[in-house]
Structure 1
Amino acid sequence: MKTLIVYSTISGNTKSVCERIYRVLKSEKKIVNVKDIKNVKVEDYDNIIIGFWCDKGTMDKDSIEFLKTLNNKNIYFLGTLGARPDSEHWNDVFENAKKLCSENNNFKDGLLIWGRISKEMQDIMKKFPAGHPHGVTPERIARWEAASTHPDEDDFKKAEEFFTNLLNK
């Protein structure tokens, strides 16, 4: 069965994890940025891994738009986000992505990986007024610092093992 990895990235996190997944898959495969998907015959692929970055608690807009073009495909996801893995936000992102992937397709499984928050996103949040839900606080800065070393080698290995177990059977 052929596997297509389609990723969207803002910080490089999602791209780097998807590239590691790509390397370990044994089936016929292709990896492409979602912005270049028009050059790919998606109907030729049985399995699709959607690599996304988290935006407002769900998949980024480009990933959602691509997902809406799919029908009756085996869908997996790999998401990256700066929230702590033990947070409620982390669980919400997983459930939101799962719901999106289940619409019109066969959702198989998904994985979230901790990733650094892009400087662009930090700069946007720094402009929010005090009291804004995404405004800068000492706690938020501490989360940014904790996430800044991710994805790390353990994160990469986790993703490789997860998708090897699912797709290299």
Structure 2
Amino acid sequence: MLDYLVLYNSHSGNTKSVAAAIFSALPEGSRDLIDIDSGKPIPEASTYFIGFCVHRGSCCIEVSDLLSSLENKNIALFGTCGMGRSAEYYSLIEKNVSAWINSSCRYLGCYICQGKMPMQVRQKYENMRTSENAPQVDGFIRNFDCAMTHPDREDLKKAQEFALSCISHASCV
């Protein structure tokens, strides 16, 4: 059994970058990094770091199924989200995703950062802009433009700090 397993689901590469940063912060030795969609078997571990890209305020079914299947493990969540850096929205995402964690597990926390979105999203915003919704859509476009540089170095550094904090918390539990 591994000490640490970093599992992730990433469509744009954002969550994969955060997963790699978390993996690099973990102690050398008994650890692995696996893309959930790779088809590789998922080994057993004491502590799981499970990453997801946010879609409609939650995670994909593969991640929710995985979270529901784990028992008596330490679990930390991490994710990337195109929509703004809103603590309230990130808290809602954490609540929605952590609800899938089996009650026998120890929940260690969640780290979410902004991630870039495909250019089609910006084009969609531009196409839906009218004089009536211009202020709101312009806000979406500003957020999109800001997201283009994320996850950045600071986001990845915070992900590593989160991982170290989770390790510390898991050893105290």
The interval holding the TM-score normalised by the smaller chain is 0.7 to 0.9
Partner of 2:7: 6
Report matched runs for 1:1-169 at 5 Å.
Answer: 2-26=3-27, 28-36=30-38, 38-41=40-43, 44-101=44-101, 103-119=103-119, 122=121, 125=124, 137-167=137-167
Instruction: Give the aligned CA root-mean-square deviation in angstroms.
Output: 2.6
Uncovered stretches (5+) of structure 2, i.e. residues with no partner? 131-135
Q: Distance in 2 between matches of 1:101 and 1:115?
A: 24
Distance, in Å, in 1 between the alignment partners of 2:32 and 2:109 is 19
| TM-score in terms of structure 2 length | 0.80
1:87-126 deviation per Cα after TM superposition (whole angstroms, max 9, x unaligned)? 5322211221222235452212111111112346x27955
Amino acid at match of 1:155: D
Identity of aligned residues (%): 25
Structure 1: give runs of 5+ residues left out of the alignment: none
61 and 156 in structure 1: CA distance in 2 versus 1, 3 angstrom threshold: same
Count of residue pairs brought into register by the alignment:
162
Check 1:84–1:71 CA distance in 2 against 1; reply closer, same or farther (3 A cut).
Answer: same
The question of whether the paired residues in 2 share the 8 Å contact of 1:34 and 1:66 is answered with no
Aligned counterparts of 1:123 and 1:2: Cα–Cα separation in 2: 41
Counterparts of 2:103 and 2:123 in 1: how far apart (Å)?
31
Q: Distance in 1 between matches of 2:73 and 2:123?
A: 36
Runs of 4+ aligned structure 1 residues displaced above 3 Å come to 123-131
Decide which structure has the larger Cα Rg and report it.
2
CA positional deviation for 1:49 = 0.7
Opposite residue 76 of structure 1, the aligned amino acid is A
Checking the alignment, whether the CA contact within 8 Å between 2:80 and 2:113 is kept in structure 1 is yes
Kept after mapping to 1: 8 A contact 2:34/2:40:
no
- Mapped contact 2:67–2:102 kept (Cα < 8 A): no
